[in-house]
Amino acid sequence: MRRIQNLMKTSEGAIGFGILATLMLVALFAPILSPGDPLRIAGSPLLAPFIDPAFPLGTDRLGRDVLAGIIHGTRTSLVVGIAAAIAAIAIGLCVGLTAGFAGGAVDEALMRVVDAFQIVPSFLLALAFVSVIGASVPVVVLAIALGAWADPARLTRAQVLSFRERDYVAAARVIGMHPVEIAWKEILPNALPPVLALSAIIVAAAILTEAALSFLGLGDPNIVTWGSMIAEGRNVLRSSPSLSIFPGIALVVTVIGVYLLSEGLTKALAGRRSEA
Amino acid sequence: MLLIVIVLTFLLLESASGDAVDAYLLSIGGGDATVAQSLRQAYGLDQSMLARLLLYVSSLARLDLGWSVAFDRPVLDLIIERLPNTLLLMGSATALSFGLGSALGIVAGARPESAGDRVLSTISLILYAIPSFWLGLVLSIVFAVELRWLPTSGIETIASGKAGFARAADIATHLALPVGALALIYMALFLRVMRAGMAEVWALDFVLFARSKGLSRSRIVLRHVARNALLPLVTMLGLQSAAMLGGSVVIESIFAIPGFGRLAQEAVGGRDAPLLMGIILVSAVLVICINLMIDIFYAALDPRVGAQEADA
């Protein structure tokens, strides 16, 4: 709880937390805020925004409600972003922990794989992965995680290396703890905080990657996403640019929220350190 | 390292359901099983996985990237044809974002927490959060659709017959929007890194010393603080080169620039496995080259780097 209080003291943290909390609520209550399938045809096509109170943000080429799309799109963006970040950090932690703790040939081999993933543009990798396996939400999550786990892996390994020779680890070894237990119980909790600080950046990048993928038509076609809404609006960019602009604003606000929260977190952690 | 990339891309494409022959038959409206069989034989798709992997690696060693099924041309030719456009786009966007970003970062970092710093930091935060494809769309709405200053798409006017300087100017006007969209976002990133780096350097002892010597503020900012803060920025440039290459895929698709990224998209559409693998491979090579160049540049910028290695 103390950490959350520290976080709320920084203005960045408070604003970011506010934005994300609102978005979470919107995502959670999307079926209540706008009942029914957001992809159904609700009114006449290409209604301009701010005219009809039934469709505050207008409708698209097929007469689908733009506001409903944005509300339901929040779900996709947050779910994919957070799930991809969790997956990336989980993979990164496992690989980094193994590499740092095992050392030797295992470390060498794993780090070369990390290098390989870092030199391949992650967006190209995700593009290839989704197009090869076929687009669905789990595949998109995995594709994004595949391009994002290398950084946390590297960071975890560096952390583990700095803790491996500490006295308390040696003590654990002396009392006969199993190496896996040492890695899991003694090293991981200490190595975790900086990796978690990285997580917000990964969430933001994952949201942007998901949007770019679905913008290129590689998202799940059965659910509404902001990226696919922007792509759909692009067809009528000249006559009704608002169709692309509103989902874009939603994206920007979300990502700003994540960044602010991460800055607040960093400041709160730094503050704790300087107090100690 | 490259070998790992090769094996990984190979495994990825191996797991695909349906191969290039399926996609090809689909595009010509179907065919019977014997046609499919003979095509598979012709492209060597009927052999075992390991045999094809070995075959692929050995042909790569001879710089043969394979044959593009969708374009019916050698992959290497296609990539070489498209690469200059992407390099031009990436190069100018990098130069622009690095120059502007570090300059504005110096302005923001010169007086941390001042009003100018706050404004620049806020703007950079917003820019950094904008997806590049959306920024590209908004820029093209404003400058190409509404104001009609710049063309919306393409790399040059088709069959304009322009040559020399006129052609260069034509390409420049076509590239202005995509370069702008890509550069603005990375400028925000560089600005933030530069500012953060400068804020850190301000706290160091040698800055205090420079101040106590009575050096002017602008001299301290430029010679002492900015020069040291530039180092993490250069590192960042290398780390971001892979991301920028990925970002250009989307930008190229918006502005219809016949580059590397569009080729990747077309390869995806045609399920062209050799082409897609070639693209991923060449981009990995490109990223390695860029990082090598940056390492050399880094040693020139920071005398400590070379000295340490000489000692070791």
Question: Would you place residue B50 in the very low, low, confident or very high pLDDT band (cuts 50, 70, 90)?
Answer: low
Concatenated DSSP letters for chain A? -HHHHHHHHSHHHHHHHHHHHHHHHHHHTHHHHS-S-TTS--SSTTPPTTT-TTSTT-B-TT--BHHHHHHHHHHHHHHHHHHHHHHHHHHHHHHHHHHHHH-HHHHHHHHHHHHHHHHS-HHHHHHHHHHHH---HHHHHHHHHHHHSHHHHHHHHHHHHHHHTSHHHHHHHHTT--HHHIIIIIIHHHHHHHHHHHHHHHHHHHHHHHHHHHHTT-S-TTS--HHHHHHHHHTTTTT-THHHHHHHHHHHHHHHHHHHHHHHHHHHHHHHHHH-
Per DSSP, what are the bridge partners of residue B68?
B73
Which residue ranges of chain A lie beneath pLDDT 70?
A: 1-4, 6-7, 42-43, 45, 47, 50-54, 269-276
For chain A, domains (ranges, CATH) are 2-44+56-275 (1.10.3720.10)
Beta-carbon separation of A116 and B15 below 8 A: no
Structure tokens at A276: 């100690």
Substitution target from B250, B277, B279 for chain A, most A beta carbons within 10 A: B250
Residues recorded for chain B = 312
Tokens, residue A173: 């070894």
A122 touches chain B (CB under 8 A): yes
Nearest to A124 among B2, B133, B249 (CB): B249
CA distance A181 to chain B (A): 31
A254: nearest CA in chain B? Answer: B129
Rounded CA gap, B243 and A147, in Å? 10
Testing the interface with B: which of A139, A208, A238, A251 to mutate, by most B Cβ within 10 A?
A: A208
Q: Which of B145, B245, B265 sits opposite A121 (nearest CB)?
A: B245
**Confidence (pLDDT) at A91:** 92
| Residues B163-199: tens digit of each pLDDT | 666 777 777 777 778 888 888 888 888 888 888 888 7
Nearest to B235 by CA among B302, B306, B310, B308: B302
Which residues in chain B have Cβ-Cβ distances shorter than 8 Å to A204? 129
> Residue B17: is its pLDDT beyond 50?
no
Chain B residues with CB under 8 Å of A261 CB are none
Give the separation between CA A147 and CA A88, rounded to whole angstroms.
8
pLDDT tens digit sequence for B52-70: 666 666 666 666 666 666 6
Among the partner residues B125, B145, B250, nearest to A259 by beta-carbon distance? B125
Distances (CA, A) of A204 to A83, A198, A266: 12, 10, 15
Q: Which residue has the tokens 């190069």?
A: B91
Q: Chain A 230-249, CB below 8 Å of chain B: which residues?
A: 230, 234, 237-238, 241, 244-245, 248
Q: To probe the interface with B, which of A15, A127, A215 has the most B CB atoms within 10 Å?
A: A127
Query: Which has the higher per-residue pLDDT, B11 or A214?
Result: A214
* B91 touches A: beta carbon within 8 Å: no
Q: What is the pLDDT of residue B312?
A: 39
CB of B86 within 8 Å of a chain A CB? The answer is no
Q: B144: distance to nearest CA of chain A, Å?
A: 10
Quick one: closest CA in A to B270, which residue? A131
Note whether B283 contacts A120, CB cutoff 8 Å. Answer: yes
- Chain mean pLDDT for chain B: 74
Per-residue model confidence (pLDDT) at position B164: 65
Chain-chain contact of B249 with A123 (C-beta, under 8 angstroms): yes
Q: Do B4 and A116 touch (CB under 8 A)?
A: yes
CA-nearest of A30, A34, A39, A62 to A221 is A39
Model confidence over A159-194: pLDDT tens digits?
A: 888 887 788 888 888 888 888 888 888 888 877 777
> CB distance from A251 to chain B under 8 Å?
yes
Do A221 and B87 meet the contact criterion of CB atoms below 8 Å apart? no
Contact B130 A211 (CB under 8 A): no
What is the C-alpha to C-alpha distance for residues B249 and B255, in angstroms, rounded to an integer? Answer: 10
Q: Which of B8, B128, B141 sits opposite A259 (nearest CB)?
A: B128
Question: Which of B11, B82, B134 is the best mutation test for A, with the most CBs of A within 10 A?
Answer: B134
Chain B from 273 to 302: CB within 8 A of any A CB? 276, 279-280, 283-284, 287-288, 291
The Cα–Cα gap between B5 and B31 comes to: 34
Residues of B whose CB is below 8 A from A234: 137, 254
Portion 146-175 of A in contact with B at CB < 8 A = none
Q: How many Cβ atoms sit within 10 Å of the Cβ of residue A74?
A: 24
Give the range among A20-29, A186-195, B87-96, B300-309 with minimum mean pLDDT: B300-309
- Range scoring the smallest mean pLDDT among A168-172, B31-35, B202-206: B31-35
Task: Please tell me the distance in Å from B280's CA to the nearest CA on chain A.
Answer: 7
Residue that has been written with the tokens 């200053």 in this structure:
B149
Asked if B264's CB is within 8 angstroms of A124's CB, the reply is: yes
Helix (H, G, I), strand (E, B) or coil at B141: helix
A113 contacts chain B (CB < 8 A): yes
Give the range among A152-156, B51-55, B71-75, B123-127 with minimum mean pLDDT. B51-55
Nearest CB to B288 within list A119, A208, A237: A119
Q: Does residue B126 sit at the A interface (CB-CB below 8 Å)?
A: yes
Facing residues of B74 across strands? B67
Mean pLDDT of B141-153: 71
**CB-CB: which of A132, A234, A259 is closest to B129?**
A259
Beta carbon pairs, A and B, within 8 Å? 133
Among B131, B245, B283, beta carbon nearest to A208: B131
Coil, strand, or helix at residue B67? Answer: strand
Nearest to B219 by CA among B211, B209, B208: B211
ipTM for the assembly: 0.74
Q: What's the whole-number mean pLDDT along residues B207-232?
A: 78
